[in-house]
Structure 1
């Protein structure tokens, strides 16, 4: 049997110790001689200067080590909620994950968000309760929290003695421990009728199932993401880490894939080298990629917000490959299915692209959209060009930054998840690109959706030589932008149809109120052009012939006319929230939620604790977070995550300035286009 490959994610709430656990695993595997410290800024995976200084992980990083016959590609991910997109990009390439929970702080809001996502995707998860050596560690309490708040089917694999001291040690449960066998049987019985029957018989004093049968069921259910073994220990002292390593080898499934099949992979990270060369981190699900191979790649795996870009395919020649081995990337001639590699040569590669043919899961996206936006202002006006170039490179590494260039005002906006991310962008621009910036006030990003059907039509409108008719219809939520034809494809050159479609998608980035238009069908109902005309001496005469430019400049006018007739409604982002708080604070909390336009959906009380779930406008989520400690004597816990877009109640609805030639104002648009034509 050959070597197994396990692509493993380390996930946690910030400060739970996942980077320290990564260091410990590398040390246990013999990759490093000394364990780095997050506080000292000398860890293997936090390579950015900003990461070392702030002591947090900002970008995912890949390291590799060997465990017997298994090669583990370990991906250390950010823990701060502002970088959740970085985490979500990694999920599609994992075979399994370790979710780290602090034995001091316990289950936190981000822990629950991560676990929900991992369970929804059926990614096998081992849970590691870290920091049992720290003062205030209460591993038994945290184990109860995990069962109550994270995973009902969690199974503790050991106990801690001397918790909260540097002498804390871990005693793994033994197969002969009756309490462990009972707990294991109870957890496994939910998804295995044979074990359920045997467990019931065992409660009636019949002989229990052989431990080998329980161990086999644990391996099978863990691999399917149904049951979650819980390990306890300390990444700093190493207590309990050997048991976790045994769990990685025994319980998590190895990567699968046919090395002789068609090439199929997903890009989850982009980085540039010192000379500006671009490398893509690719998880290969099938096939073998070799240096000098010419590969198709494209946006079949584009984020949900970019559904309208699906189907774009390019080709590139692979000029270099690096695979991960013993903590670092080393050059190789090829990489085969199941592995993660850095690939050079695919110049226009973007995060989320497929390589080769789209994986079967390419359409299954997990990106929560950023809900905040801010204008980036260079401290020195002369740095505008340098700022745009720098932000373009940052957007390659994080496409959800979603640059928005305003040529009218000479401004550029970026999309964000939170204020910490804004600070990181500011520091990165200063340190890596030498561009000092400030930011305007952060605002909430809305979307527009059509509320009816609208038509637009123009024929040979001066100075355009062409006919365009468009109809706009609303589409179901999540459908994206669909462009259709009600005219014969042969009625004019294909390049003109392509120009219309591309311009439709570009124009819909700004609707009647300036927000991106989502979920609609645009149908081309009329098409016409002036065939190529030449003078007697065979010189092409633009004044007598249609070009793609005619259709690119006419389409916005027609489309916005149709959109105005259809009408749009502004939708604001909504966050799902859950609050756990003392029961005697419920009344004050409900009053505060009403003032913040939040809608409670479900309320539960258990003993002295009260919980409420519901929806709150994203613009109010930060205010809710700030007010919660005062409303709950500091005992309340808030969990929020993007949920959906809902019609705004604001009158008038929020709007943002347009950045284009503004086809909503016909006269000014025609004047500006005419100037450009001349």
Structure 2
């Protein structure tokens, strides 16, 4: 039997969880269709999801369509939980993008479609809620073609035979010649060509229906089976898979959701994963036929839940890394907050709870400020903060409060800089020589570390210690923000080797390099100089035409830059760029200025240089910018460690 790993994606409230329920019901996996409002759906199993009526965590459920096993992954629609969608994209064979027939294409719909197109994931589009008041499938179809992709092929009631053939002919010269020459193109020929182009993500068939009533879902089901690429996989090949979700079991053990691309994993076998880790698989459950039975193995194409791998993390490769592992498709969180327990005695429990939540969502980027004894979290939005607060209270019994949410900036080097500390210098108390040169890289490059010293001139453990420390130190640049798009080259090195007869207290250790590297790196960065960049959103604003006058001064005050302005009858549409920190202010003032009729869509676009006074973030490390303080604090910490 072949397997299709299928993602269901949508803007919040478009009806994707209801569509999941309808597909499960049609396949005979459930006896009745669950309700999001009633909290009775299969995939929204968390208490918070049932209470709020939104999907927070990606969930997997399996059902058959003829001889194809479909592993359906229901993903969150709210933009605050886009990280869950990010992780799912790497394991999909195909996707269904759900669009409301009432609201049409929305902000998150466009973000999702851009990612699906970049990854060339075969995608069907389902126009849902055609039974609702205000539904207009034909208008939404035109909306999809205009704002998502022109490569749409209407199916079912939306279809016209000539429109289907014309779309296919645009992307296949042989098919085009046959069409132009008047050759008779039978239904079988058209269906085969449609399937071929859909599986190559060249076109996107559009279906219409209602998940609530079931209208149009049989046609969608047939489309899933016939148009999307089910896989068989090489079960005897080398093991290769990806971890896209981690949760805790009833006994507190880690459970890793793994999609296998190749090979077979058995219980009790030792499995390599991540960056040099290895563990013994103690249990396997495989999604199949609406349940997750315990099995002795999981094979290529399947999704399994593996236990026993204590060090495993989201994003880890299992076995051999996948050759087509995608880059990050969505923006990182752009907001940050401090979380504190309401009871001071709960600090330890709070840290443990947040560490476990960070296992499930690494992008919350738990940071501990050892100077002020505070915990920082990165966020996508206020809803995510509310969910974290409720989760800590309900699942961990810890009541918390949040400080004011602030915007996360980044730093990039302005030029090149270099520094070196030689072993034996008066202000270098470590048995190490470290020289570093920094230089800017193109936007999106991240951090690159390289060597200009001979590879054999320094023990590998010291090189690794230096690189790890460079990456850790760059989490806080000259102004306290993450430094990115930077190249760091090691230009000088030196150490004291151990004597022939064994270890000596005068020998160099990896610790010497870890302690010295931050000082050298900050000196090099200071010579290079940095610029601070703030996140900028692209916005789409739809307002009554008579509200355009009052809105324009507001956009100016908020630092927004309109890129286009269009009057469409009585409606004005403005698109442009706005600092992320000002989006909430625009959203709050919009109702009063537009008589409650304004609609704002926004999503991260890029980082822009900060104008005026540069914002800074309090440091949470030992502050290598102040050499005297740094050396004093590190010495004290080392002494406490020895005494402990």
Q: TM-score per shorter chain, which class?
A: over 0.9
Paired residue for 2:254?
278
Aligned to 2:416: 453
CA contact (8 A) 1:64 1:328 kept: yes
Alignment counterpart, residue 621 of structure 2, candidates 651, 655, 660? 660
Partner of 1:72: 70
Aligned positions of 1:235-274 closer than 5 A: 235-274=211-250
Structure 1 position 532 matched with structure 2 position 530:
no
Q: How far did 1:588 drift?
A: 4.5
Distance 2:328 2:177 in 1: 39
For residue 580 of structure 1, report the CA deviation from its aligned partner.
4.0
- The equivalent residue for 2:523 is 561
Instruction: Tell me, in whole angstroms, the C-alpha distance in 2 between the residues paired with 1:672 and 1:364.
Output: 38
Distance 1:494 1:88 in 2: 34
Q: Which residue of 2 aligns with 1:165?
A: none
Matched residue of 1:600: which SS?
Answer: strand
Unaligned runs of 5+ in 1: 160-171, 174-179, 299-311
After superposition, the C-alpha distances for 1:15-50 in whole angstroms (9 at most, x for unaligned) are: 111111111111111111122111111211111111
- How far apart are the structure 2 equivalents of 1:363 and 1:232? 31
Secondary structure (helix, strand or coil) at the match of 1:366 reads coil
1:317-466 alignment to 2 at 5 Å?
317-458=280-421, 459-460=423-424, 461=427, 463-466=429-432
| Residues 491 and 107 of structure 1, relative CA distance in 2, 3 Å threshold | closer
**CA gap 1:112/1:629 in 2 versus in 1, 3 angstroms:** farther
Quote how far apart the aligned CAs of 1:275 are: 0.8
Given that residues 27 and 65 in structure 2 are in contact (C-alpha distance below 8 angstroms), is that contact kept between their aligned partners in structure 1? yes
1:490 lines up with 2:456 in the alignment: yes
Offset at residue 450 of structure 1 (A): 1.1
Aligned-partner SS, 1:472: strand
Q: How far apart, CA to CA, are the structure 1 residues paired with 2:149 and 2:638?
A: 63
Which of 624, 636, 644 aligns to 1:675? It is 636
Contact 2:107 2:603 in 1 (8 A): no
Q: In 2, distance between residues paired with 1:107 and 1:367? A: 18
Contact 2:90/2:326 (8 A) holds in 1: no
Query: Partners in 1 of 2:206 and 2:491 — Cα distance?
Result: 60
* Corresponding residue to 2:113 among 112, 115, 138: 115
Matched residue SS, 1:329: coil
What is the TM-score of this pair, normalised by structure 2?
0.94
The answer to whether the Cα contact below 8 Å between 2:86 and 2:328 also exists between their aligned partners in 1 is no
Secondary structure of 1:5's counterpart equals: strand
Moved more, 276-285 or 128-137: 128-137
Q: 1:74 and 1:612 mapped to 2: Cα distance?
A: 37
Deviations 1:611-655 (A, max 9, x none): 44332211122223334444444444433222222211131x010
1:72: how far off? 0.5
Counterpart secondary structure, 2:102? coil
CA apart distance, 1:345: 2.2
- 176, 180, 190: which one aligns with 1:214: 190
1:223 and 2:199 equivalent? Answer: yes
- Partners in 2 of 1:614 and 1:256 — Cα distance? 46
Q: CA deviation at 1:94?
A: 1.0
Looking at structure 2, the residues matched to 268 and 197 of structure 1 have their Cα atoms a distance apart, in angstroms, of 44
Distance in 2 (CA, whole Å) between partners of 1:382 and 1:24 is 48
How high is the TM-score relative to the length of structure 1? 0.89
Q: State how far apart, in whole Å, the 1-side matches of 2:175 and 2:454 are.
A: 63
1:9-28 equivalences in 2 (<5 Å): 9-28=7-26
Does residue 641 of structure 1 match 2:641?
A: no
Structure 1 Cα separation of the partners of residues 192 and 571 of structure 2: 38
1:106 aligns with 2:104: yes
Q: Measure the CA separation in 2 of the matches of 1:250 and 1:363.
A: 26
Q: Give me the whole-angstrom Cα distance separating, in 2, the residues matched to 1:258 and 1:677.
A: 52
Q: Secondary structure at the match of 1:358?
A: coil
Distance 1:407 1:326 in 2: 49
CA distance in 1, matches of 2:139, 2:443: 42
**Contact kept? 2:286, 2:298, Cα under 8 Å:** yes
Deviates more, 1:555-564 or 1:271-280: 555-564
Query: What corresponds to 2:32 in structure 1?
Result: 34
Aligned position for 1:185:
165
With over 3 angstroms needed to count, the CA separation of the structure-2 counterparts of 1:488 and 1:122, relative to structure 1, is closer
In 2, the alpha carbon distance for the partners of 1:93 and 1:260 equals 20
The alignment yields a C-alpha RMSD, in angstroms, of 2.2
Query: How many residues are paired up?
Result: 636
Query: Is the Cα–Cα contact under 8 Å of residues 109 and 637 in structure 1 kept in the other structure?
Result: no
Distance 2:142 2:493 in 1: 66
Contact 2:209 2:215 in 1 (8 A): yes
